[in-house]
Structure 1
């Protein structure tokens, strides 16, 4: 969410600007600060950081003082050189004096700012202002995404460089789904590689068996809880056209849905594969669902092309779909 500072001594114009912004953009009134003179605007820039400053060209230095465009131009120069001021990312000047707009336009454009002519009888000023705000919002979002991607990559590289454990599941729901799929797969393989040893009197790994879909779901729940304590089992994910669907597991208000299937016969394989597309289509009706994870456990006696299924059914759509086929090492 961007923060905006509006500096204008004329309340009617100030209200129109703010009303236009809140009407056409997802910006709350509390994210818009108002000031009526240079002195008040300077104080706000001392104390806060703003993404956008909308500045009346003809302003008084103090409230009730004489209005002059020179006051605004001097203020703009001060913003550039005063180390105590937090400069806004972008500045838009606005004025109802056409002659002043023409005279001082260069003072704005040479710094890649904008100066708009305000006319109460026309919506042209409003269109120009909102177009600039749309561009600012889009550019800021792209910058934040690029910056976050760079920082997250650097964090992971630093962990690897120092040989520290990486417990980051991902930075979006699709990545989290893949991360959880890999955790479940490794958790099912690792027990088979342990030896009880002579000192392990109370742990018998031969008792860890999965012979049904219910066993598989219980084990998944145990595996995921340390990573995501809020994971819910059998939560109602969607009610559509009178039909209710309970997800095997849901995370963060159904943002991620996990379905676990166990295939121990060829007939069950065919049934499960037929349901994958149907479930994906059903869950897509819920706007909260950002990602689907299908975990399919396979009895080693069942012939199946693991990589073909994962490739064909996993999709980078909305919601994203991740299919992980895992061979049952705990039969």
Structure 2
């Protein structure tokens, strides 16, 4: 056997990142209020192998995918968190931290302001405007603790109100928690049996026991949800795009949170719904006001829908709007 040289030298460069130029560029590209530096680079405890952690305090809704593209164009060492309404969430790995407001998050992380929309770059000689990073490192992105700093019920309701989510009653502290609550409700309304109703009325022979189409399940959902959650609206205009009006089945918060319901009786309905899911997701993505889209699909067994595959294929959490798909199989 030949000799092996185990002392392999890795060739790499130490690159310089102009943080000031990056902040000014980001301020022109995105609707930002402020940019902050936090983490080891802020406290000057990081090495050239440390990533560069930034908060983008948003002035409007920003799509994480656009920020990821921006990172790819400028510096692979960057890890950017979008900060809005007391939540900072990584555009890379979705880790987050929450507080009563943006100021609480910034204090918790010891963040340093770099730039603001009103004044531009902060004039402070202590800011490390020139950062160096290693060219060969596959940077491990910062993972925040996915922690929710405790707030009072009044503060929580104020935050939910600003987020356009139900606040009286509170049915979830985030969009995904609200969606999960509504999914549970959507599942329960299909569990009625004839024995649950009196002989004296007509309910035993009605759609409450045997819904036949999407309008029946929508009516059931409306009857069950509206007296409880006043924030839910039905068939309001969600967006107008290219002259077309789109009325959502249900909506919350001025159409920021959309609920669409479909009903699959057979394989023909199944094929049609696939096209609808793809089309509606694209349609709603054209409007930055829509931040969450919940698809609930009621399916007869004859439709032969693989719920795990559909929910995995059509749900998404990385881009805006976030999409959650839930398939509810009906007992025939």
With normalisation by structure 2, the TM-score equals: 0.48
Q: Which has the higher contact order (CA 8 A, sep 6+)?
A: 2
The structure whose residues are more often helix, as a share, is 1
With normalisation by structure 1, the TM-score equals: 0.49
Instruction: Decide which structure has the larger Cα Rg and report it.
Output: 1
The structure whose residues are more often strand, as a share, is 2
